[in-house]
A = this chain, B = another copy of it.
Amino acid sequence: LAAAVDQILEGNRRAIARLISQLENNQPAALDILAELYPHTGQAYLVGITGAPGTGKSTLVNELAKLYRGQHQTVAILSIDPTSPFTGGAILGDRIRLKDLAGDSGIFIRSMATRGSLGGLARAAADAITVFDAASFEIIIIETVGVGQAEVEIARLAHSVIVVEVPGLGDEVQAIKAGLLEIADVFVVNKADRDGVDRTVAALKMMLDLTRDSPAKPMLHHGVVMDISPPPSSPAAEIRWQPPICKTIATTGAGVDTVIEALTQHRAYQQSSGLLGQREQTRLLFEIEQILKERLLAGLMSKLSQTQFNDILTQVTERQLDPYTAVETLLRLGENQKS
């Protein structure tokens, strides 16, 4: 155990990769290592990046990583590809990347496909972040390939969230944009050599102006656990962050330095305002909630027999019992089992 912990803290790449795989596969021994690593975390800065497919997120992430490396910062990239349930995208992504960034020990790239359950993905991502943080990676970029609730939930838990747009996408994408607007700390309009880039920037500005005078964002709600008292407010937090809009051509690297600059400013803003601590708390709360749900479910299932469970399920499929009443019945069976 101590040896494995030391290897991670020293940044041993093989040990990092192995531990993340073990955590993905729910190996109990890996959790012991994670517990030992945890006191060594909390130093990394987490950058989330999201946006519709085809906006060039992966290329942008590569360029960001290169620039950070130029500043002698170490970078871990966690690429989350939840639309690939069994095989596919995640591996492809790794292959494309390795060409460009291979051989640099200050960069670590890890792809993660779906974990079977909705909460499982969020938990596996959180575990990987803990490992990277303990291994002293200074910047952790969390990139999502899919654009859905799970991905947005994960990306928004980062300290800074980049939302990538491109000029001239259709109506459906506009609708998505409305939702992403509210989680963006930095906007990037990529493929800025395309027609319509100024129109896209103007549209984003208009949307930002519309929301500027509205009341502050409601605190993120992640279910039951989220009912905690708000952190003490500081005067600086009253000055709202206005998300900058950066124009980039990721394929040539043009404008990527402005994204780094925007992230640096946002980080400074969050540190001085005390909002960083608030985000960190939200992130850990979300992580605890995912683990709690899995553990509670496993705990209940261990108390029920397969026959008990299948009987209830059959009653539901035959419409003799509705799913909510079925759940209450299962909970009651679990209670009785205990006493």
Given contacts A54-B52, A149-B146, contact A324 B34 (CB under 8 A): yes
Beta-carbon nearest neighbor of A39 in chain B: B319
Q: Which residues of B contact A280 (CB under 8 A)?
A: 317
Q: Does A196 sit within 8 A of B, measured CB to CB? A: no
A74 contacts the other chain (CB 8 A): no
Give the residue among A151, A295, A322 with the most B Cβ atoms within 10 A: A322
Taking CB atoms, residues of chain B closer than 8 Å to A217 are 86
The answer, among B86, B118, B178, B310, for a CB contact under 8 Å with A89, is B178
Give the residues in chain B near A39, CB-CB below 8 Å.
Answer: 319-320
Give the residue name and chain of the B residue nearest to A299 (CB): B331
Report whether B292 and A41 are in contact in the complex, using a CB–CB cutoff of 8 Å. no
**Is residue A229 contacting chain B, with contact meaning CB distance below 8 A?**
yes
One digit per residue, 1 when the CB lies within 8 angstroms of any chain B CB and 0 when it does not, for chain A 292-306 equals 111111111100001
Stretch in A11-19, A232-240, A241-249, A281-289 with 4+ CB within 8 Å of B: A281-289
Interface of A is mostly: helix
Q: Are A175 and B89 in contact (CB under 8 A)?
A: yes
Interface size band for A: 35 or more
Cβ-defined contact, A85 with B182, below 8 A = yes
- From B118, B169, B319, A54 is in contact (CB under 8 Å) with B169
Nearest chain B CB to A56's CB is how many angstroms away? 8
Residues of chain B lying within 8 A (CB to CB) of residue A218: 86
Q: How far is the CA of A318 from the CA of B121 in the complex (A)?
A: 24
CB-defined interface of A80-92 with B at 8 Å, one 1/0 digit per residue?
0111111111001
* Per-residue B-contact encoding for A247-274, CB less than 8 Å = 1, 0 else: 0000000000000000000000000000
A93 at interface by CB-CB < 8 Å: yes
Q: Which residues of B contact A324 (CB under 8 A)?
A: 31, 34-35, 291
Cβ-closest 6 pairs across A and B: A148-B148, A88-B178, A84-B179, A82-B149, A89-B175, A146-B148
Beyond the given pairs A38-B322, A84-B178, A148-B148, 11 more chain A to chain B contacts, judged by CB atoms under 8 angstroms and listed by A's residue number, are: A35-B324, A37-B322, A41-B319, A86-B217, A116-B222, A119-B223, A126-B323, A146-B147, A223-B294, A227-B306, A295-B331
A interface residues with partner B (beta carbon < 8 Å): 31, 34-35, 37-42, 52-54, 56-58, 81-89, 92-93, 96, 113-114, 116-122, 126, 130, 144-153, 169-176, 178-183, 217-218, 221-225, 227-229, 277, 280-281, 284-285, 287-289, 291-301, 306, 309-310, 312-313, 316-317, 319-328, 330-331
